[in-house]
């Protein structure tokens, strides 16, 4: 009896293995047959992926893996679902991946493919944004551009299936410090914030006065962490005292306003932005930072036009940073992706047509000595110098205004050139006092750089000592010189209006260009 059982067990085991192999073969054949048809229609797949064709992408993945069912492995499916849940901390919507989130297992080929499609969709949203930037905010791109450092979607997908799902999501998530800190702040924010009464309009509130609105303002600053409970004790709630003034200044700085302690219309407007609106503003700017992540290369000069800040990065490491002055609302700095390819030392300034028409001509008409006082030359089409009295300033034609290099030249001593169709560049400026303003949207579109010498030093750091000495001599000469820059950094002129401050609190810049509402509505749709 024992002998018969011993002989029967290997036969039974071999039969089970054979049946399992046959089942796998049939399943692979079924999957292969499904992929041969129109899966969007036959399997009701609605994942709208921009960077790859979903049919081709899924076919390639399953071909490379021998048409194996990927999500019948409970551990892999649970790992995917855990990562999808965490995407809410990135400001992404779990409803976009609801089938994969709620799947118990991939029971048939269509269920298998729907989970895989949502896996690809989640990786694309995380690494490149949920929405197509071009549909909401235009951006110009130079050609050719440096290779982006963002991984390709198919590479991310295969990493997840071969190394681990969590590894793929970690590689997809932008490594920019701005993104990581803002994401952590968003994760900690109340997603169902309470309603608050708006602060009523009224006269300016200055330190030392009393006003019934100050009690409400004091309470709101206490709730938002700009005023501590101990600071709010033993004071008249309607008196604008020194402690409240410091809290107001902290609030103003956090909102990108001039921190003067005076509660006027701008400050009250910022106080009346609801907590729900601020939550959405953070979500909007996480999306913008994902767009940047998809564009960026390893060596990057990243400029936030909204805040007036520049950062030079190697990978995700900050090398250098400074403040900037960017375009005002009537003359916005355009969003673009390019690279610095040359630097002009001691530049002359040729007055752009818009500035001539809107700024300088009115000055000349009011003051005939305006041009002479600034050393601005009048040139005809052949470059010959003309006298002011030769020109009909009510309708000047065929002239160019040019200011030679010098201490009053608006471009300062250095210009950083980058290919683009807008005649936009980065430059030094004699208007250094404007860097002290909180809101630095003050230029005519170009980007004025604080410590332009420091940026030039960074960009010339790879040159030999003798080359740097020669450039220093050219700069000291006061004469114009062009210095080609090989392998200059990629430049991204971008726009985002929320970040996380040093305390992890969300901080904001005014939406000077009015771009937030359109994107916010699209994300909420």
The pLDDT tens digits for 70-85 are 999 999 999 999 999 9
Whether the link from the prior residue into 152 is cis, omega within 30° of 0, is no
Percent helix, percent strand, percent coil in the chain, to nearest 5: 45, 15, 40
Q: CA 186 to CA 68: how far, in whole Å?
A: 38
Residue 174: is its pLDDT beyond 80?
yes
- At residue 19, the pLDDT reads 39
For the four alpha carbons of 493, 495, 496 and 500, in that order, the dihedral sign comes to positive
Q: pLDDT class for 17, splitting at 50, 70, 90?
A: very low
User: Across the strands, what pairs with 303?
Assistant: 310, 493
pLDDT of amino acid 26: 60
Residue 315: what pLDDT?
95
pLDDT at 216: 94
Distance CA 176, CA 276 (A): 25
Structure tokens at 409: 């030249």
**CA 270 to each of CA 219, 238, 255, 273, 393: distance values in angstroms, whole numbers, following the listed order:** 15, 20, 7, 5, 44
Can you tell me the mean pLDDT for 518-524?
Answer: 96
**Side-by-side strand order, sheet with 377-380:** 349-350, 399-403, 377-380, 385-386
Over residues 491-495, the mean pLDDT reads 98
Cα 445 to Cα 351: distance, rounded to the nearest angstrom: 13
Higher pLDDT, 29 or 58: 58
**What is the C-alpha separation between 141 and 24, in angstroms, rounded?**
48
Check: CB of residue 182 under 8 Å from CB of residue 206: no
Choice among 71-80, 130-139, 282-291, 392-401 with the minimum mean pLDDT: 392-401
Strand blocks (E) in 78-139: none
Q: How far is CA 221 from CA 225, 466, 474, in A?
A: 6, 57, 54
Contact 333, 423 (CB under 8 A): no
In this structure, the number of other CB atoms found within 10 A of the CB of residue 261 comes to 20
Active site residue ranges: 427, 446
- C-alpha distances in Å from residue 61, one per residue of 54, 115, 155, 160, 400: 11, 13, 10, 12, 60
Q: 141 phi and psi, to 5 degrees?
A: -125, 130
pLDDT class of 149 with cuts at 50, 70, 90: confident
Q: Which tens digits make up the pLDDT trace of 177-230?
A: 999 999 999 999 999 999 999 999 999 999 999 999 999 999 999 999 999 888
- DSSP character for 394? T
Per-residue pLDDT at 240 exceeds 90: yes
Segment 397-406 shows an average pLDDT of 91
pLDDT digits (tens, 9 = 90+) for 290-343: 999 999 999 999 999 999 999 999 999 999 999 999 999 999 999 999 999 999
Q: Residue 267 CA to chain centroid, in angstroms? A: 25
Nearest to 328 by CA among 292, 358, 286: 358
**Whether the predicted pLDDT of 514 surpasses 90:** yes
Rounded CA gap, 334 and 346, in Å? 25
3-state secondary structure of 327: strand
Q: Taking residues 424-451, report their average pLDDT.
A: 95
Tens digit of pLDDT for each residue in 334-372? 999 999 999 999 999 999 888 999 999 999 999 988 998
Lowest mean pLDDT among 39-48, 123-132, 265-274: 39-48
Spatial distance between the Cα atoms of 263 and 272, rounded to a whole number of angstroms: 12
The 10 Å Cβ neighbour count of residue 340 is 20
Phi, psi of 171 (to 5 degrees): -70, -30
Cα distance from N-terminal residue to C-terminal residue, the chain: 72
Strands (DSSP E) along 328-478, which ranges?
336-339, 342-345, 349-350, 377-380, 385-386, 399-403, 414-417, 426-427, 441-443, 447-449
């Amino acid at each position: 009896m024992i002998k018969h059982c011993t002989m029967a067990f290997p036969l039974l085991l071999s039969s089970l293995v054979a049946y399992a192999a046959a089942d796998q073969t049939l399943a692979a054949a079924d999957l292969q047959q499904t992929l041969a048809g129109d899966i969007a229609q036959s399997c009701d797949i609605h994942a709208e992926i921009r960077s790859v064709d979903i049919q081709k992408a899924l076919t390639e993945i399953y071909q490379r893996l021998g048409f194996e069912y990927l999500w019948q492995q409970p551990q892999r499916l649970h790992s995917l679902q855990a990562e999808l849940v965490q995407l809410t901390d990135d400001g992404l919507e779990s409803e976009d991946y609801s089938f994969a989130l709620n799947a118990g297992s991939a029971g048939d080929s269509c269920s298998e493919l729907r989970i895989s499609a949502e896996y690809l969709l989640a990786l694309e949203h995380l690494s490149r944004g949920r929405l197509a930037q071009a549909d909401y905010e235009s951006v110009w791109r130079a050609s050719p551009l440096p290779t982006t450092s963002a991984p390709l979607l198919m590479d991310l997908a295969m990493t997840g299936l071969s190394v681990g799902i969590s590894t793929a999501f970690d590689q997809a998530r932008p490594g920019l410090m701005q993104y990581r800190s803002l994401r952590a702040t968003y994760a900690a924010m109340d997603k169902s914030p309470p309603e608050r009464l708006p602060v009523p309009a009224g006269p300016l509130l200055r330190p030392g006065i009393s006003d019934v609105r100050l009690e409400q303002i004091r309470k709101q600053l206490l709730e938002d962490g700009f005023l501590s409970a101990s600071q709010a004790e033993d004071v008249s709630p309607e008196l604008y005292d020194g402690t409240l003034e410091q809290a107001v200044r902290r609030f103003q700085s956090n909102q990108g306003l001039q921190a003067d302690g005076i509660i006027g219309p701008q400050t009250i407007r910022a106080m009346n932005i609801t907590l729900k609106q601020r939550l959405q503003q953070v979500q909007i700017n996480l999306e913008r930072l994902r767009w940047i992540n998809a564009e960026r290369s390893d060596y990057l000069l990243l400029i936030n036009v909204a805040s007036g800040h520049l950062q030079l990065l190697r990978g995700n490491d900050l090398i250098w940073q400074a403040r900037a002055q960017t375009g005002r609302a009537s003359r916005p700095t355009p969003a673009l992706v390019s690279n610095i390819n040359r630097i002009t030392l001691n530049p002359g300034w040729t007055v752009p047509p818009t500035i001539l028409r809107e700024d300088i001509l009115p000055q000349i008409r009011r003051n005939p000595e305006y041009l002479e006082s600034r050393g601005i030359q009048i040139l005809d089409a052949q470059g010959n110098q003309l006298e002011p009295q030769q020109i009909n300033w009510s309708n000047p034609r065929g002239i160019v205004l040019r200011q030679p290099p010098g201490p009053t030249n608006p471009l300062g001593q250095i210009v950083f050139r980058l290919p683009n169709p807008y005649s936009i560049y980065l430059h030094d400026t004699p208007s250094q006092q404007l860097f002290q303003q909180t809101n630095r949207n003050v230029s005519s579109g170009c980007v004025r750089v604080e410590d332009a010498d420091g940026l030039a030093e960074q960009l010339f750091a790879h040159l030999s000592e003798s080359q740097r000495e020669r450039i220093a001599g050219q700069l000291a000469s006061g004469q114009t010189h062009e210095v080609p820059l090989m392998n200059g950094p990629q430049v991204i002129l971008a726009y985002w209006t929320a970040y996380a401050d040093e305390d992890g609190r969300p901080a904001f810049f005014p939406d000077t260009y009015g771009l937030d509402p359109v994107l916010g509505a699209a994300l909420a749709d």
